Structure 1
Amino acid sequence: MLQFVSDSHDNQYVREQSSSLADLTAARADTQRKHLLLAASGSIVKALAKHADQLAIRIVLTDSARNFLNGQSSEQPTVSSLLHLPNVEAVYSDADEWGPQPWRRGASILHIELRRWADILVVAPLSANTLAKVCERPLPLFPHTSVPAILKTRNNVQIVNGISDNLLTSVIRAWDTDTTIDNKKKVIVVAPAMNSAMWRHPITAKQVRVLAEDWGVQGDGEPATIEAGSATEATAPGQATSGGWFQVIMPITKTLACGDTGDGAMASVDTIRATIEARLGLQ
Structure 2
Amino acid sequence: MLARLSQKRILLGVTGGIAAYKCADLIRRLRDAGAEVQVIMTAAAQEFITPLTLQALSGNTVHTDLLDPKAEAAMGHIELARWADLFLVAPASADTIARLCQGVANDLLTTCWLACGARKAVAPAMNQQMWLDPATQNNMITLQAREIAIFGPGSGVQACGDVGAGRLLEPLEIVALCAEQFASHALTGRHVVISAGPTREAVDPVRYLSNHSSGKMGFALAEACAEAGARVTLIAGPVNLATPDRVQRIDVVSARDMQAACELAVTDAVAAVGAEQSVFIATAAVADYRPAQVAEQKIKKGDKDDEITLTLVKNPDIVAGIAARAERPLVMGFAAETHAVEAYAQDKLARKKLDLIACNDVSRADIGFQSDDNAMTVFWPMGDGVGRADLAKASKAQIARQLVQLLADRLSSAGA
Task: State whether TM-score is above 0.5.
Answer: yes
Alignment pair present for 1:98 and 2:67: yes
1:196 maps to amino acid: Q
1:175: how far off? 2.2
Residue number among 95, 98, 101 corresponding to 1:129 in the alignment: 95
Alpha-carbon contact 2:31-2:37 (below 8 Å) kept? no
Distance 1:62 1:262, change over 3 A: same
1:55 maps to amino acid: A
Q: 2: CA distance between counterparts of 1:127 and 1:113?
A: 25
SS in structure 1 opposite 2:181? helix
Alpha-carbon contact 1:192-1:264 (below 8 Å) kept? yes
Q: 2: CA distance between counterparts of 1:196 and 1:37?
A: 27
Q: 2: CA distance between counterparts of 1:120 and 1:49?
A: 14
Residue 211 of structure 1 corresponds to which residue in structure 2?
Answer: 143
Distance 1:215 1:280, change over 3 A: same
1:69-108 matches, cutoff 5 A? 69=49, 78-85=50-57, 87-94=58-65, 97-100=66-69, 107-108=73-74
Deviation track 1:177-210 (CA, whole Å, cap 9, x = no partner) reads: xxxxxxxxx2111111111111010011110001
Residue 290 of structure 2 corresponds to which residue in structure 1?
Answer: none
1:235-246 matches, cutoff 5 A? 246=148
Residue number among 10, 16, 34 corresponding to 2:8 in the alignment: 34
SS in structure 1 opposite 2:121? strand
Provide the TM-score with structure 2 as the length reference. Answer: 0.39
Residue 132 of structure 2 corresponds to which residue in structure 1?
Answer: 200
1:279: how far off? 2.6
Residue number among 154, 157, 166 corresponding to 1:252 in the alignment: 154
Q: 1: CA distance between counterparts of 2:31 and 2:83?
A: 20
Residue number among 29, 36, 43 corresponding to 1:47 in the alignment: 29
Distance 1:57 1:198, change over 3 A: same
Q: 2: CA distance between counterparts of 1:80 and 1:175?
A: 25
The total of aligned residue pairs comes to: 172
SS in structure 2 opposite 1:48? helix
Query: Between Structure 1 and Structure 2, whose CA radius of gyration is higher?
Result: 2
User: Unmatched 5+ residue regions in structure 1?
Assistant: 1-31, 70-77, 136-160, 177-185, 217-245
Q: 1: CA distance between counterparts of 2:85 and 2:154?
A: 27
Deviation track 1:220-255 (CA, whole Å, cap 9, x = no partner) reads: xxxxxxxxxxxxxxxxxxxxxxxxxx1011211122
Q: 2: CA distance between counterparts of 1:173 and 1:50?
A: 29
Q: 2: CA distance between counterparts of 1:66 and 1:173?
A: 22
Question: Superposition RMSD on alpha carbons, in Å?
Answer: 2.2
1:65 maps to amino acid: A
**Structure of greater relative contact order (alpha carbons < 8 Å, 6+ residues apart):** 1
Distance 1:121 1:79, change over 3 A: same
Residue 168 of structure 2 corresponds to which residue in structure 1?
Answer: 266
Deviation track 1:32-73 (CA, whole Å, cap 9, x = no partner) reads: 82211112222211222323xx3211100000111122xxxx
User: Unmatched 5+ residue regions in structure 2?
Assistant: 1-5, 15-22, 184-226, 228-244, 246-416
Alignment pair present for 1:65 and 2:42: no
The structure with the greater share of residues assigned to strand is 2
Q: 2: CA distance between counterparts of 1:110 and 1:100?
A: 9
Distance 1:48 1:101, change over 3 A: closer
Distance 1:102 1:255, change over 3 A: closer
Alpha-carbon contact 1:131-1:207 (below 8 Å) kept? yes
Q: 2: CA distance between counterparts of 1:123 and 1:193?
A: 10
1:16-27 matches, cutoff 5 A? none
Q: 2: CA distance between counterparts of 1:273 and 1:101?
A: 32
Q: 2: CA distance between counterparts of 1:62 and 1:102?
A: 16
1:160-175 matches, cutoff 5 A? 161-175=102-116
Percent identity over the alignment is 32
Distance 1:100 1:197, change over 3 A: same
Deviation track 1:101-135 (CA, whole Å, cap 9, x = no partner) reads: 695xxx42121110111111111111000011111
Provide the TM-score with structure 1 as the length reference. Answer: 0.56
1:112-151 matches, cutoff 5 A? 112-135=78-101
Q: 1: CA distance between counterparts of 2:61 and 2:53?
A: 12
Distance 1:252 1:121, change over 3 A: same
SS in structure 1 opposite 2:26? helix
Deviation track 1:130-163 (CA, whole Å, cap 9, x = no partner) reads: 011111xxxxxxxxxxxxxxxxxxxxxxxxx211
Distance 1:101 1:59, change over 3 A: closer
